[in-house]
Amino acid sequence: MSTVTVEDLVKQASDHKLPYQQMHLAQKALDSRARRAAKKLGFIAHKSRSGIDGLNNHGGFTVLDGLTGFPVYGYYYELDAQDVIEWCNEDEDDAA
């Protein structure tokens, strides 16, 4: 029996193979994973609430420094959850 990952669910959702409710839950799980990955390294993964809104807000994530609140990656909220996770993994590897 194979294990289904969140990434598999998101891919299926993007291929329109999952019902909307499952697609929404898969995206929420991926967003939560991005927030946890950032928090583990002392950052805050913040997602725009307003969606695409002007030139400086592309409706995605930005990563903030946990102490100063200053953006360190994704200045224009242009990141998706997978970008945040990958960046955190790279940053974790650099710190080791």
Return the domain boundaries, the chain. Answer: 6-95
Region at 44 (left for phi over 0; alpha for psi -120 to 50; beta for the rest): beta
CB within 8 Å of 24: residues ≥ 6 apart? none
Arithmetic mean of pLDDT, 19-27: 78
> Which tops the pLDDT comparison, 16 or 33?
33
What tens digit of pLDDT does each residue of 6-21 get? 677 666 666 666 677 7
Burial bucket for residue 15 (CB in 10 Å: 0-12, 13-18, 19+): exposed
End-to-end CA distance of the chain: 34
What tens digit of pLDDT does each residue of 53-82 get? 667 777 899 999 999 999 999 999 899 999
Contact indicator for 43, 72 with CB cutoff of 8 Å: yes
Amino acid at 71: P
Q: In terms of pTM, does the model score above 0.85?
A: no
